Structure 1
Amino acid sequence: FKTHPNVLKELNYHNPKMAAVMRDSPEEEAVQVMRDHILAQGAAGFNRTYDANREETEMKNRLLTNPMDPTANEYFGRQIEQKNIMEQYTQTMNEYPETFARVLMLYIATEVNGKPVQAFVDSGAQSTIMSSACAERLDILRLVDKRFEGVAVGVGSGKILGRIHLVNLKVKGEDGGMGGEDVHLPCSITVMDSEKGLGDKNMDFLFGLDMLKRHRCSIDLQRNALVLNTMGRQVVTPFLQEYQLDTTKGGTRDFDADAANAELEKAQMDSVAEVEAAELAEAEAKSAEETGEAAAGTDDTTMTDAPGAGAGAGAGPGSGPGPG
């Protein structure tokens, strides 16, 4: 492990407690710990298999005795469901593995007042929306018409500060071929309170359906680009890639691998600590319960023996009334 850090990193991902022991222990002790771990895992696997086979045999016998047995039928129903799920999982992994990957949202590079801003293309948003913090950063918050303030209601609710009636939005076309030139779009923007507005504070500018329809835009996923048909010409602007987006937007531009690994390791260690604490609490509760049962048994024995002791004393010499 010490000569192959990648192997240790993989072990740390699956079993951080074991990885810490392997990293900090002397070689001979680490080897012995790994052997014990492998033996324990093998024994646990054997026990699981044995218990599963025993339960299946028991359920089969119950069905042979009573084909309408509800417990056995429920058991085999779960088995069939799990089998179907695993078959679908295997087929998806083999034929459509991309469905398990994270989907990158659609962003385009734009400029307002000469300042860059990444716009989230959202055909599900009725209006083009910008947070007040983003508007202030772009120096257009002063243009908000507060007569249009209100409350936006959708999945959640948010406070609308007003509306900016006209903003010059610069969209850059892709290099080479048709649509390689920049285009300036007149754009109306609804400004929402950053604290009580957009549900996701990382999406500070949404290019909504109103402007998509106004500029006859097409989301072309084959070219991975937004196609704008405006002012008599077509402009193609590519959607941003992961390396161009911050981690808050699902990208990797400011991704810190060391910090992410440290955070993951801490989370795993915290999870292990929680499991160990729960197991310890369960063991203590069980021990206390057993101690209580033993104490109750001792009290019962004492109460049972007491009458016998009194009878023995009464039967002894001089216990009865003496001669008159």
Structure 2
Amino acid sequence: MILTVSTLTRSISLELDVLTSIKDLKAVVCFDFGCEDPDKLALYYQEKELCFGTLEDNGIVKNTSLFLVDKSLKTDLKKHQDFIRKLQRNGKELSLLRHHDPLLAEALMKSDVYAVKAILESRLLKQEEIKTEEQQLLKLAKENPFDLELQCKIEEQIRSENLRHNLYTAMEHIPESFSSVSMLYIKLEINGCVVKAFVDSGAQMSILSQECATRCSLMRLLDTRYQGVALGVGSAPIAGRIHAAHVKIGRAFLICSFLVLLEQSVDFILGLDMLKRHNCCIDLKSNHLRIGKCNAHFFSIIIITSNFQGPRGRVWPSSLSMSFLGITFSKKARAGPLLTMKTRYRR
């Protein structure tokens, strides 16, 4: 296995076995680079420091490259220390960095100047390698413009450059697209019982969990003739259907019907059927669910992520990946585009 060890100014190639220990590797690198103490060397693979074990233990089993940092050199650390202090004082930027680049954010939080130096310089070195490779390909293309394999490589290089440009454009103009979006939750009352409901215009029918139906004293109204199985990305047994129940949203009093699911992580999903029935308007600008002249305020991200808990301390998800995207109600097991519901109707 060929291992390339690089700094910003120099690189060497070593032929090693995968069972070579990190300690022995540091000794070889120390000799080749003319360093004094191998313990002062830090080797980084995929921006993570190699400390113990063998190359194989650290996931290095084929030809690759490592980045070297000499901790005995005190030069050129001031700019990295200033960079760390600047970001640590800026909580907003550090929060964004923690989301987009957790590895660098972790090094910043630990004030590990050598790890920050290694991460930044290894990325800079990688960019230089990409530029060098691009220049070499262009040079070869001029010498032999009809080489099919070379043209394929240039095409892939252009595609990668377009992808990078598209990514940087998105990061500059719509950075919010890289963060998670909080889902829409409102507070409502069913039979006088306060329920936190998930507003989902992508659900074809409104859904109530059996646990929530029991808390709201609605199980006496459950029509078990509508038992079945909801199928989709996941599946859940349907206990039945409640045809009419009084629901209070803000100052509006509504009559709603919904299915009752036995295994449902969210207490109540206000689906498209009831949203259309009562002419509801999801107003994202004012962050309200509007029903006629009445408004119900959507919960903020702080409430959802910190204090939004369901029964028995169950945490409600801030970004919900629903198992049930929609429902096609059918007496036969007829496949729908998103979700079908097998029903068993007894006369």
What range is the shorter-chain TM-score in? Answer: 0.5 to 0.7
CA contact under 8 A between 1:62 and 1:69: conserved in structure 2?
A: no
Deviation, 1:37, is 7.4
2:295 to 219, 236, 241: 236
Provide closer, same or farther for how the CA distance between residues 93 and 61 of structure 1 changes in structure 2, counting only shifts above 3 A.
closer
Quick one: distance in 1 between partners of 2:124 and 2:187? 57
Question: Could you report, residue by residue, the CA deviation over 1:36-66 in whole angstroms, capped at 9, with x for unpaired residues?
Answer: 974x568746754564344334322331232
Partner of 2:255: 186
| Aligned-partner SS, 1:75 | helix
CA contact under 8 A between 2:134 and 2:157: conserved in structure 1?
A: no
Is 1:250 aligned with 2:318?
yes
Partner of 1:205: 268
4+ residue segments displaced more than 4 Å: 8-13, 15-23, 34-37, 40-47
| Aligned-partner SS, 1:250 | coil
Larger relative strand fraction: 2
| Aligned-partner SS, 2:230 | strand
Partner of 1:30: none
CA contact under 8 A between 2:207 and 2:259: conserved in structure 1?
A: yes
Q: CA RMSD in A?
A: 3.5
Is 1:96 aligned with 2:178?
no
Larger relative helix fraction: 1
Partner of 2:248: 170
Partner of 1:85: 163
Deviation, 1:5, is 12
Quick one: distance in 1 between partners of 2:173 and 2:109? 38
CA contact under 8 A between 2:88 and 2:108: conserved in structure 1?
A: no
TM-score, normalising length from structure 2? 0.53
Q: Which structure 2 residues correspond to residues 30-179 of structure 1 after superposition, within 5 A?
A: 34=113, 38=117, 44=122, 48=126, 51-172=129-250
Deviation, 1:17, is 8.4
How many residues end up aligned between the 2 structures? 220
Provide closer, same or farther for how the CA distance between residues 49 and 7 of structure 1 changes in structure 2, counting only shifts above 3 A.
same
* Structure 1 residues without counterparts, runs of 5 or longer: 24-33, 173-181, 252-324
Question: Could you report, residue by residue, the CA deviation over 1:197-230 in whole angstroms, capped at 9, with x for unpaired residues?
Answer: x4xx2x221111221122121222232222223x
Deviation, 1:69, is 2.0
Question: Could you report, residue by residue, the CA deviation over 1:98-121 in whole angstroms, capped at 9, with x for unpaired residues?
Answer: 322322212221012322111111
Identity of aligned residues (%): 34
Provide closer, same or farther for how the CA distance between residues 89 and 116 of structure 1 changes in structure 2, counting only shifts above 3 A.
same
Quick one: distance in 2 between partners of 1:45 and 1:243? 35
Deviation, 1:6, is 7.7
Provide closer, same or farther for how the CA distance between residues 41 and 155 of structure 1 changes in structure 2, counting only shifts above 3 A.
closer
TM-score, normalising length from structure 1? 0.57
